[in-house]
Structure 1
Amino acid sequence: MIAVDQIPVTVLTGFLGSGKTTVLNHLLRQPELNGVVAIINEFGEVALDHLLVESSEDRLALLDNGCICCSVRDDLIETLADLAGRRAAGTVPPFHRVLVETTGLADPVPVLHTLMTAPEVVGRYRIDGVVATVDAVNGARTLEAHVEAVRQIAVADRLLVTKTDLAAEDALARLDARLAAINPVATRAHVRNGVVDPAKVLDAGLFDPSARSADVVRWFDLASQAVNAPHHHAEHDCDGAECGHHSHHAHDAGVSSYSLIIDEPIQRDAFARWLDYVAALKGEDLLRFKAIVHVAEQPDAPVVVHGVQHVFHPPITLQGWPSADRRSRLVFIVRGIPRRIIENTLCKFAAVSRAAIQRSAA
């Protein structure tokens, strides 16, 4: 069960020079972010970026000498635990949200793992969402040259395309299409000089136990439509023995996205068994997984599940279905996992009949 008073954490990521610090600077000056602590990660001997952030020291915590990955995971845990302890003791000003800015070279997945698994953190914090900045001028070249940039986009809930005033319209349109191909379920916003509405960054909502059921189900409806829409990069999902008429997206660094809709209720234990199997077999390549599940044992209360590689967020039970549509919807962003493998494992381990699996939102 998720505690209602957990502090939401927004992870701000993006490749080198993509404008993260400029965006953070703008956000910290907005009244909506009063009472927010920013944790800024540095790479290198001397930390510099924090000098560029216009904020008082009591709103900043600095992790230096390494990217946010395994090398400083313990530092992040210690920082979050210390902040929560000082907040409870009243030795720091009250804060109600945390922003973690990663380095440009960082994979944000270890941050999400920390928030989802570290005992010192889980009871006190919850993931609000991942926001990635993308340079409108250099973004396409960056995606070609750096797999880290592709992974940052693939795991994001929201994308901020920065420096749009410096990019040609046709180039910007091509970049938008490419971002939509890599991650069709992330919302996108164009940003100039770091100016962005906090509402486009905060409260991604899927992992908030107080989120309205209708909003969550609407997200899954839109996500299913987005990842199954025809795209010019699509290619047939064939394995030689069989080839369906549906298609999936082939993207940068082997990243693809697709969704499945299941018409029949799923047994809780069977679904948990399937999750364990997929995490063990394909977890490294399961970049993001989100699902709203019709659990057979509780037909009137759908369950939302979120996974990042091997780790799954504790399931969130919604108060009820907001519409008559009670189908399970599963959304995947993966690296090199064919859709047919997911379908086969659902049938074998989750006891889902093949006839109940649909490949489109229709």
Structure 2
Amino acid sequence: MNTETNTEDAIQVSLLTGWLGSGKTTLLNSLLKHEDMSETAVLVNEFGDIGIDHDLVDTVDEDLVELTTGCICCTIQGDLTRVLRELFLKRVKGEVAKFKRVLIETTGLADPAPILHTLINDPIIATRFYLDGVISTSDAVFGFGQLDRHEEPRKQAAVADRIVITKTDMAEEEQLNDLEERLHSINPTAKIYRVTKGNIKPDKLFGCGLYDPETKTFDVKEWLREEALRDENNTQSHDHAHDHAHDHAHDHAHHPHGEHEHSHDPERHGDGISSFCIRYEEPLEWPAFVAWIQTLITHRGENLLRIKGIINIDGEDQPLAIHGVQHIFHHPVRLPEWPSEDHDTRIVFITKDLKKDIIQNSLEALQLAAKS
């Protein structure tokens, strides 16, 4: 974490993930037809999996298709590093349209960590691409049961910036409300959209990163979404008072999405997933902060599903933005200025089986040691 990175000239990368059968293919196919997908390169596992409309095909070779919408569709073929390098080289040579963002279908991957590893650790790719956000799909009919039975969809929801509930025309309103509430309890900071047949405007899914290339500004508030956690915490005590009666009434009802206790406390479902924000008023000693992060990564990396933060460094006028998923951390981004009068360090965590007090106490201990 000693090197800062510049995102202003780099290409946005979004990851599309979701449990098997959750509607990724339908969503992707719908997006490919949208005129707002111009200047976008879409990386998929197999062309046959998404059934590209032949009327949209402009040019084609073995691994790459250019569509009349201005979108490029390319197969990954197992080696993401090679594909991104070759695609960027074709862009430089003018062999393909000058795309400004990349959407990667992460079929078969439980979480985005391997792709993030490629984006960050490959020296050529790291200077040309940066993560904009993670998009996760959830099946309106079966999603609740899948969240109960499988760890992967819970992790996918936990690390997402945008969650798309698919197949909403096949579900009852109560199912949709239950699923949305469950997803929100796992990840209060993600925006959730209900979609039928993949119909959603691309701008709802993209542009959720720290840097907005359209305005050429850093949108810290939208990226960090710290206020969503404050809203969640403010309602927890109110909701807790109703939990017992609410659960009792629904435990005797039939649920099309599978048997479960009707509680949206992640701990009650065995998720072990927590969302919280740590604030630190005093400027932080950078060497101690780096040591703290590296210790967390080394010993509890599997439990750190997502971290975003804006850091006030002692002796520095400009804040640093940090972003990590599990063991993988982007290089810090130095912001041109503070986004508001609030200069406190704020770090948003989404963790699994790792409590806030453990993290906060360890940071405070290292900072005290550094200043003594």
TM-score tier (shorter): 0.7 to 0.9
Note the C-alpha offset of 1:109.
Answer: 2.0
Cα distance in 2 for residues equivalent to 1:304 and 1:227: 23
Are 2:303 and 1:261 aligned? no
Give the deviation of 1:105 after TM superposition. Answer: 5.4
> Which among 266, 278, 303 is matched to residue 285 of structure 1?
303
Contact 2:162–2:205, Cα closer than 8 Å, also in 1 = yes
Q: Report if aligned partners of 1:136, 1:167 keep a CA contact under 8 Å in 2.
A: yes
User: In 1, distance between residues paired with 2:288 and 2:302?
Assistant: 22
Q: Deviation per CA, 1:31-90, whole angstroms, max 9, x where unpaired?
A: 221121110125xxxx731435665313221134xxxxxxx4xx0011001101111122
- Residue of structure 1 in register with 2:18 after alignment: 14
Q: Is 1:19–1:162's contact at 8 Å kept on the other side of the alignment?
A: yes
Distance in 2 between residues matched to 1:271 and 1:288, nearest whole Å: 17
Map of 1:49 onto structure 2: 49
Identity of aligned residues (%): 40
Counterpart of 1:356 in structure 2 is: none
- Relative to structure 1, the CA distance from residue 258 to residue 227 in structure 2 (aligned partners, 3 Å threshold; closer, same or farther) is farther
Hey, what does 2:293 align to over in structure 1? 275
2:319 to 302, 306, 331: 302
Task: Give the whole-Å Cα distance in 1 for the aligned partners of 2:149 and 2:52.
Answer: 27
Q: Which runs of 5+ in 2 are unaligned?
A: 58-64, 67-71, 244-264
Matches for 1:11-90 after TM superposition, within 5 Å: 11-41=15-45, 48-52=48-52, 55-56=56-57, 57-58=65-66, 59-64=72-77, 72=78, 75-90=79-94
The verdict on how the C-alpha distance between 1:79 and 1:53 changes in structure 2, with shifts beyond 3 A counting, is farther
CA distance in 2, matches of 1:104, 1:137: 21
In structure 2, what is the equivalent of residue 243 of structure 1? none
Give the deviation of 1:143 after TM superposition: 1.0
In structure 2, C-alpha distance between the alignment counterparts of 1:162 and 1:229, rounded to whole Å: 29
Residue 315 of structure 1, CA deviation: 1.0
Equivalent-residue separation in structure 2 for 1:265 and 1:174 (angstroms): 41
Relative to structure 2, which stretch is displaced further, 150-159 or 110-119?
110-119
Q: How does 1:1-362 map to 2 (within 5 A)?
A: 1-41=5-45, 48-52=48-52, 55-56=56-57, 57-58=65-66, 59-64=72-77, 72=78, 75-103=79-107, 106-206=110-210, 212-213=217-218, 215-217=219-221, 219-226=224-231, 228-231=233-236, 232=239, 250=267, 252-298=270-316, 300-351=317-368
In structure 1, distance between residues paired with 2:53 and 2:338: 43
Structure 1: 5+ residue stretches without partners: 65-71, 236-247, 354-362
Measured at CA, do residues 107 and 322 of structure 1 come closer, stay the same or move farther in structure 2, by a change above 3 Å? closer
Structural RMSD (CA): 2.5
Secondary structure at 2:306 match in 1 = strand
Q: State the AA in 2 paired with 1:323.
A: S
- Give the distance between the partners of 1:352 and 1:183, measured in 2 at CA: 33
Cα shift readout 1:206-249 (whole Å, capped 9, x = no counterpart): 25587634x313544424414534445899xxxxxxxxxxxx95
Inter-partner Cα distance in structure 1 for 2:205 and 2:270: 25
TM-score by length of 1: 0.83
Any conservation in 1 of the 2:7–2:211 contact (CA below 8 Å)? no
Deviations 1:92-123 (A, max 9, x none): 22221111011155422211222122223101
The answer to which of 47-56 and 342-351 deviates more is: 47-56
CA–CA distance in structure 2, aligned partners of residues 264 and 224 of structure 1: 22
Shift of 1:135: 0.8
Q: Give the CA deviation at 1:352.
A: 8.6
TM-score normalised by structure 2 residue count: 0.81
Distance in 2 separating the partners of 1:222 and 1:169: 27
Q: Aligned partners of 1:13, 1:51: CA distance in 2, in Å?
A: 18
Q: In structure 2, what residue type is equivalent to 1:12?
A: L
Secondary structure, in 3 states, of the residue corresponding to 1:351?
Answer: helix
Cα offset, 1:277, TM superposition: 1.1
| Aligned residue pair count | 326
Indicate conservation of the 8 Å contact 2:266/2:272, yes or no.
Answer: no
Letter of the structure 2 residue corresponding to residue 175 of structure 1 = L
- CA apart distance, 1:349: 2.1
Larger CA deviation: 303-312 vs 221-230: 221-230
- CA distance in 1 between counterparts of 2:202 and 2:270 reads 29
Distance 1:318 1:88 in 2: 28
Q: Secondary structure at the match of 1:103?
A: coil
Q: Distance in 1 between matches of 2:34 and 2:18?
A: 21
Mapped to 2, the partners of 1:48 and 1:106 lie a distance apart of: 22
Greater Rg over alpha carbons, structure: 2
One-letter amino acid matched to 1:60: C
